[in-house]
Structure 1
Amino acid sequence: MRNNLLLIQQISVPLAGIVVGALLAITGCSPKTVTNPPNNAATQATPASTEKATAYQVPVEYYTLDNGLKVVLSPDKTAPIATVAIYYNIGFRIEPKNRTGFAHLFEHMMFQGSQNLGKMEFIQLVQKNGGILNGSTRFDFTNYFQIVPAHKLETMLWAEADRMRGLNITQENLTNQQGVVKNEVKVNVLNQPYGGFPWLDMPQYANKNWHNAHNFYGDLKDLDAANLDDVKSFFKTYYSPNNAALVIVGDFEPSQAKTWINQYFKDIPQATLPPKVDLTEPRQEKEQRFSKDDKLATKPALAFAYHMPDKNTPEYYAMGLLDQILIQGQDSRLYQALVQERGYSGSVDGGINSGLGNMFNYNGPMLWDGSLIYDNNVSADSIIAVVDREIKKLETQGITQEMLDLALIKMRSSLYDQISQLYGFGKADLLASFALFDNDPNRINKLESEFKKVTPALMQKTIREYLRPTNRTILTINPQAKS
């Protein structure tokens, strides 16, 4: 459960509480993309410098209710289905100290019943109407979504509004879900080889600010310490309309959807939100190295991570393209050098916000990382030396226009894959993130142009500042089990 809902290459759920239907599984399986990328002609390998085609445009209608609920509508008549996604602006980073894992615990509580739906009846309502659903907790949001036949859209809006209006918060439900979450931690992290590596481990080693560096899954003692007053306060504070974005994607009429949204959500009272948490990280000036014993692992593993540029800066977009050049796909520099040429490992994984999202759905400091499990006769230093050589080549020899064009093609293809994944959920994920964090869901239609502004000179500048060894954290896993 370390992959994310919407990585460039795959879909799954690292911290999901509930899964219904065959398309999603918390065991780490990755459903295949179920629709073709939109506007296939636009994904052809035409060099960016000569491209004349008009970029694909996602329909976006955006407005805010009087109670602060952000609403994004994106009609798509491709299939008679509708996706409803609601994102709350509360994730791991701003959960209370001494209550690690609380944001994730609360995700589970959202399925324990509301004013008009009993325990687990929300799930049954979706399933019996032919739909699927899920929820997950990430760095900066907790999300819930349902994918249903289009004629059941109103039902889903009513159900989401019902639990936003109020949960059935009882000691019995809390105690039950504390046990569920603790078991999830044991099954997916503590009792798995490489459990939590590197998606859960690396932020704790690379970051200095507690909000970015604590155990997001939760220490077992902290999960036990959560009480009923904590839950009630958390719900009242963070699960309010003025801390949320509601997105509808699919086959619906916007005028009818607006009527239903107004009917079910407009009278839910807003909350007084706490001041924003300071998430800033100090500039890293010295390489950090750590090691961790793993009693269940039979081979060593290594992860490296570099602090990212601030989101939405020119360097941020340059890092997105460097990610494509260095680690995404079998044509990437690190895959070729570590797997194809030297055979150190069978794969190299990683990226921006890898394991917990994508480069667009977060709102704070972030890491670009890579990881691999490698043979016992290979040294960690030899792997890092290869990484350094490949990065140094780009810095000293420069980025050619041909390399930049190929990176743009890969980025555009992966972006279209994200938009088209899982019956519209991929599109909803981006729209909700841009609404929550940027107050501009139409950013989804500006991404291509932002990446096209990146020049070879900017990429070299970004390498020098952000891919320097002194901005790096290295974590190695020492295997303790016999092979």
Structure 2
Amino acid sequence: MKETFMLFLFLALTFSGFSQEDKQQNEKYGEFHVPVEYYKLENGLKVVLSQDKTSPTVIVAVYYNIGFRIEPKDRTGFAHLFEHMMFQGSENLGKMEFIKLVQENGGVLNGSTRFDFTNYFEIVPANKLETMLWAEADRMKGLDITQANLTNQQGVVKNEVKVNVLNQPYGGFPWLDMPQYANTNWYNAHNFYGDLKDLDAANLEDVENFFNTYYSPNNAVLTVVGDFEPEQARKWIKEYFAEIPKADLPASPDISEPRQQEQKEFVKNDSLANKPAIAIAYNMPERNTPEYYAMGLLDQILIQGDNALLQKKLVDELGYTSNVSGGINYLGNMFNYNGPMQLMFDITYDSETSKEEVVKAVDEVMAEISENITPEMLNNALVKMRSQLYDELGGTFGLGRADLLSSFALFDDDPSRINNLEEKFKEVTPQLMEETISDYLRKTNRTILTVNPLLANNEKTN
């Protein structure tokens, strides 16, 4: 799974530019403007169409409203396991034939499991749109669920856990570790990769029930971005998806978190690590609130780019590390999640430097910013955010665009939100920034996780 989402992020951030039509619309509106057509089929499938004539390619993306933190309690890792199962064959496509179909038609594809969704996408020549719509509909109708396929993928996922986490230095740090330490609600705090015993316990009935519930059209978004004619796309979508029956969906679990009142500190012993490391996470405001957008700008000021305050302090001034990594949502971006989240950053540092020295330097940055949010600082953050948004929207023939459109349709029932993002950030004032810093960048709202290297166990201590 780690390679999957890393590839997705790489693709989403690779810039390819806007079409001439987009640029003309940008000049008209004074900000970016993405064409959005949104409707629903009678079976509940949400459909988003966004035409882009930049290149003769098209993206088909299907997002299902099931992710790490809303999987069944007795089936940890099941959302991720099912991501693998979706490539094991359907009614008309045998095992791995979906992948072969895309590649033989000159396309690329991938899938990933995130906090709040599991997604699949294909980027193909524009004249292969109908083929991809047919193929996605084929596996939405039903999978080839066999014991052989299940057993095989259980082994694949368990091996992935061993290779990417258990047998890697800094394995799972901090993207997999921090949610388990920072959160208190099981849904947000369990091991997203899954306990090996839970993976072993999964049976065919579990798989069938999971598929019939969560992989239904009324729990999904179909997004098409690229060089296509909307009228023709609507006809194909109706032909291939309209007759797929909807499911009775269970009530969404309560994934809320209580307000944190005390700083949390933990140590993870890592026998494979050769340097200490630290991750510091601050709980985010509720999504789509004014403070949420303020934290997005604080992310730009504190973490993103060579001129970020933490980079200047920890790297340029003190030389504690060579790089500060971080942001909002390590499994994506600040827009494609739907629940509690942290603004987080992490570094590795030499053994000669103490954790206390690193934390002291961080506290100095936080104290400085709490007293010095200037209009110039805010404007610079807006410029960086605008640049990041353009990169997201223009990346890899529109893959970043497809991601945002799908997320906003899935979580907000409003993919047109994509065209209001810049305006929301522009509404943030220095006063709101100061209030957000006071309420969310306080010590009692953070969790500190350090990696202790060269020890013989991986147990958690506090």
Q: Give the aligned partner of residue 359 of structure 1.
A: 334
- Matched-pair contact (CA < 8 Å) for 1:37–1:417: no
Deviations 1:214-264 (A, max 9, x none): 000111111111111110000000000000000000000000000000000
Q: Give the aligned partner of residue 275 of structure 1.
A: 251
Q: Give the aligned partner of residue 370 of structure 2.
A: 395
Match of 2:404 among 430, 448, 451: 430
**Aligned AA (2:7):** S
- Matched-pair contact (CA < 8 Å) for 1:193–1:294: yes
Change in CA separation of 1:286 and 1:418 when aligned onto 2, cut-off 3 Å: same
**Aligned AA (1:401):** P
Distance apart, 1:12 and its partner CA: 2.4
- Matched-pair contact (CA < 8 Å) for 2:270–2:453: yes
After the TM superposition, which segments of 4 or more aligned residues of structure 1 sit over 4 Å from their partners?
A: 1-5, 29-32, 37-42
**1:154 pairs with 2:130:** yes
**Aligned AA (1:158):** W
Q: Distance in 2 between matches of 1:384 and 1:412?
A: 30
Q: Distance in 2 between matches of 1:338 and 1:223?
A: 41
- Matched-pair contact (CA < 8 Å) for 1:348–1:371: yes
Match of 1:112 among 88, 97, 101: 88
TM-score of the superposition, structure 1-length normalised? 0.91
Distance apart, 1:409 and its partner CA: 0.2
Secondary structure of 1:290's counterpart equals strand
Distance apart, 1:53 and its partner CA: 6.8
Distance apart, 1:138 and its partner CA: 0.3
Change in CA separation of 1:121 and 1:41 when aligned onto 2, cut-off 3 Å: closer
- Matched-pair contact (CA < 8 Å) for 2:54–2:397: no
Change in CA separation of 1:348 and 1:227 when aligned onto 2, cut-off 3 Å: same
Match of 1:35 among 13, 16, 21: 16
Deviations 1:169-205 (A, max 9, x none): 0000000000000111111111110010000000000
**1:254 pairs with 2:235:** no
Paired residue total: 453
- Matched-pair contact (CA < 8 Å) for 2:4–2:111: no
Whose helix proportion is higher, 1 or 2? 2
Q: Percent identity?
A: 67
Q: Give the aligned partner of residue 379 of structure 1.
A: 354
TM-score of the superposition, structure 2-length normalised? 0.95
Distance apart, 1:149 and its partner CA: 0.3
Match of 1:12 among 1, 7, 24: 7
Q: Distance in 1 between matches of 2:124 and 2:15?
A: 15
Bigger mean CA offset, 51-60 vs 432-441 = 51-60
**1:370 pairs with 2:337:** no
Q: Distance in 2 between matches of 1:380 and 1:30?
A: 35
Q: Distance in 2 between matches of 1:156 and 1:240?
A: 18
Q: Give the aligned partner of residue 74 of structure 1.
A: 50
Q: Give the aligned partner of residue 417 of structure 1.
A: 391
Change in CA separation of 1:291 and 1:216 when aligned onto 2, cut-off 3 Å: same
- Matched-pair contact (CA < 8 Å) for 1:82–1:148: yes
Q: Distance in 1 between matches of 2:142 and 2:134?
A: 13
**1:479 pairs with 2:453:** yes
**1:86 pairs with 2:62:** yes
Q: Distance in 2 between matches of 1:373 and 1:52?
A: 46
Q: Give the aligned partner of residue 25 of structure 1.
A: none
**1:302 pairs with 2:278:** yes
**Aligned AA (1:407):** A
Deviations 1:23-63 (A, max 9, x none): xxxxxx77972513668998xxxxxxxx9971110000000
Q: Distance in 1 between matches of 2:297 and 2:21?
A: 21
Q: Distance in 2 between matches of 1:39 and 1:56?
A: 12
Change in CA separation of 1:426 and 1:4 when aligned onto 2, cut-off 3 Å: farther
- Matched-pair contact (CA < 8 Å) for 1:245–1:432: yes
- Matched-pair contact (CA < 8 Å) for 2:269–2:455: no
Q: Distance in 2 between matches of 1:205 and 1:374?
A: 21
Q: Give the aligned partner of residue 429 of structure 2.
A: 455
Q: Give the aligned partner of residue 340 of structure 1.
A: 316
Distance apart, 1:423 and its partner CA: 1.6
**Unaligned ranges ≥5, structure 2:** 457-462
- Matched-pair contact (CA < 8 Å) for 1:301–1:373: yes
**1:331 pairs with 2:313:** no
Change in CA separation of 1:30 and 1:236 when aligned onto 2, cut-off 3 Å: closer
